[in-house]
Structure 1
Amino acid sequence: MSVMLRAENLHHRVNTSEGPLTLLNDISLQLPAGQSLAITGASGSGKSTLLGLLAGLDRPSEGKIWLAGEEITAMDEEQRAALRARCVGFVFQTFQLLPGLTAQENVMLPSELRGERNAGKRAQEFLERVGLGHRLHHYPRQLSGGEQQRVALARAFCSIANTGSTASNGILFADEPTGSLDAHNGEKVIDLLFNLNGETGTTLVLVTHEQRLAARCGAHLRMTAGEITAGDLPGSLAEVSA
């Protein structure tokens, strides 16, 4: 099985008025393509920092990261952005929808920016898959929180599914995807997330406080004070697998 994500000896520090602050300390992991991984831990444990580094949104102070077979820590920001556009999707707690675009326009935007044909049709198909075929022309302000997160899911999967990339069907990073939702809508979004993930064959990495969500993943690691303290990661560079 091919490896979608690999990190070796990651350290991340930031400068503060009180001196250097270590956010991550010696993190190593490896995740096969098509697998799902939950990262849990208390607020301030470093899980969202780790997610951002693995997705190429930031660079570590030390260490190396490979995403879809390419070393993103050796890339500049433009190169990392190009790789993300090819094979990475995101779902955030705050939805991140553009208010001036309809649901369909929000979903089709990443594909349209890549110059893909039939972006509108594919966006409609994914909105129908999340139960929002009747909301294509509604703006975010006209949608409930649960509906907005379903639009965000459709956008994420539409942007990485069947793009013609060789990156093993892409990878989805989700940061607290149910954090802004009530229990009922949270359950709906969780079911959709894993159903779409299974249908499209993507790799999934998510940060969550919710054990019910973490339990749905094939692998799980827990972080404390910037270090991996529990989960499916024994050893210095263990493969995370189902």
Structure 2
Amino acid sequence: MSAMLRAENLHHRVATSEGPLTLLNNISLQLARGESLAITGASGSGKSTLLGLLAGLDKPTEGRIWLAGEEITAMDEEQRAALRARCVGFVFQTFQLLPGLTAQENVMLPSELRGERSAASRAAEFLARVGLEHRLHHYPRQLSGGEQQRVAIARAFASFSGGDGILFADEPTGSLDAGNGDKVIDLLFKLNAESNTTLVLVTHEQRLAQRCGAHLRMAAGEITAADSLDGNDNLSEVSI
């Protein structure tokens, strides 16, 4: 399988009053199309910073990143945004739904911004796939936390405009109780398998990490260990 995501020698530093602070130090990885990767580590380990760089939300101080075969570190913000609009979906801990839009309107927003005529029907289809066909016209405040995260998952998968897709999830069950968290986990991996998307997941939950094909552990901005969780010694094409 060809690489959907590749990073080489990433370093990321930010300026502080006490001098440069290193957030990431010399990170390299590769993930094949359709694979899943969990990134874990304590708070402050750099895992969310790494996720943001891999998704093209920011640029590293040093190093190169390729997403869907294109080098995003060579792009400006407008070019990176266009690439994200085509093939990237996001699921966050805090759902990130717009309170003034209904569930259907939240899900259809990425497609609508691309000018797709089928945005409404596509949104309805994905809401049905997450079991919320009866909640199309409800606003986020009228939905439970678990329902809001299911809307966010539907929006993430509906946002792919065709072809390759990669989903970045940052602590997707962090705001949910155990029961709703389990349902969201099952749904996330079910849709991911059906859509053959690539999944990069930041989490502190081992039970969630164990659902992924490979697992990177981080500490102090560095990868400290890489494991295959499917019995494959080559880490499902993930390397460090």
* Maintained 8 Å contact 2:24/2:220: yes
Distance 1:181 1:147 in 2: 10
Q: The residue matched to 2:63 in structure 1 has which SS?
A: strand
Q: Is 1:178 the counterpart of 2:173 in the alignment?
A: yes
Give the letter for the 1:213 counterpart.
Answer: L
Q: Is 1:200 the counterpart of 2:195 in the alignment?
A: yes
Deviation at 1:118, TM superposition (A): 1.2
- What residue is the counterpart of 2:97 in the other structure? 97
Give the letter for the 1:116 counterpart.
Answer: E
Q: Is 1:158 the counterpart of 2:166 in the alignment?
A: no
Write out per-residue CA displacement over residues 186-209 of structure 1, whole angstroms, 9 at most, x where no aligned residue.
000000000000000100001000
* Maintained 8 Å contact 2:10/2:26: yes
Distance 2:52 2:162 in 1: 25
Distance 2:92 2:82 in 1: 20
Give the letter for the 2:210 counterpart.
Answer: A
Count of residues in correspondence between the two structures? 232
- What residue is the counterpart of 1:6 in the other structure? 6
- What residue is the counterpart of 2:147 in the other structure? 147
Q: The residue matched to 2:159 in structure 1 has which SS?
A: helix
User: 1:9-24 to 2 correspondence within 5 Å?
Assistant: 9-24=9-24
- What residue is the counterpart of 1:51 in the other structure? 51
Distance 1:201 1:159 in 2: 14
Identity %: 86
User: 1:31-180 to 2 correspondence within 5 Å?
Assistant: 31-160=31-160, 163-165=161-163, 168=164, 170-180=165-175
Distance 2:70 2:170 in 1: 23
Stretches of structure 2 that go unaligned for 5 or more consecutive residues are 229-235
Write out per-residue CA displacement over residues 83-107 of structure 1, whole angstroms, 9 at most, x where no aligned residue.
0000000000000000000000000
* Maintained 8 Å contact 2:87/2:162: no
- What residue is the counterpart of 1:210 in the other structure? 205
Write out per-residue CA displacement over residues 36-91 of structure 1, whole angstroms, 9 at most, x where no aligned residue.
00000000000000000000000000000000000000000000000000000000
Alpha carbon RMSD of aligned pairs, Å?
Answer: 1.2
- What residue is the counterpart of 2:233 in the other structure? none
Write out per-residue CA displacement over residues 100-159 of structure 1, whole angstroms, 9 at most, x where no aligned residue.
000000000000100112111110010011110000000000000000000000000011
Deviation at 1:232, TM superposition (A): 3.1
Write out per-residue CA displacement over residues 197-231 of structure 1, whole angstroms, 9 at most, x where no aligned residue.
00001000010000000000000000000000012
Distance 1:119 1:239 in 2: 35
TM-score by length of 2: 0.95
Distance 2:219 2:76 in 1: 30
Q: The residue matched to 2:182 in structure 1 has which SS?
A: helix
Deviation at 1:239, TM superposition (A): 3.2
Stretches of structure 1 that go unaligned for 5 or more consecutive residues are none
Q: The residue matched to 1:73 in structure 2 has which SS?
A: helix
Give the letter for the 1:101 counterpart.
Answer: L
User: 1:217-236 to 2 correspondence within 5 Å?
Assistant: 217-232=212-227
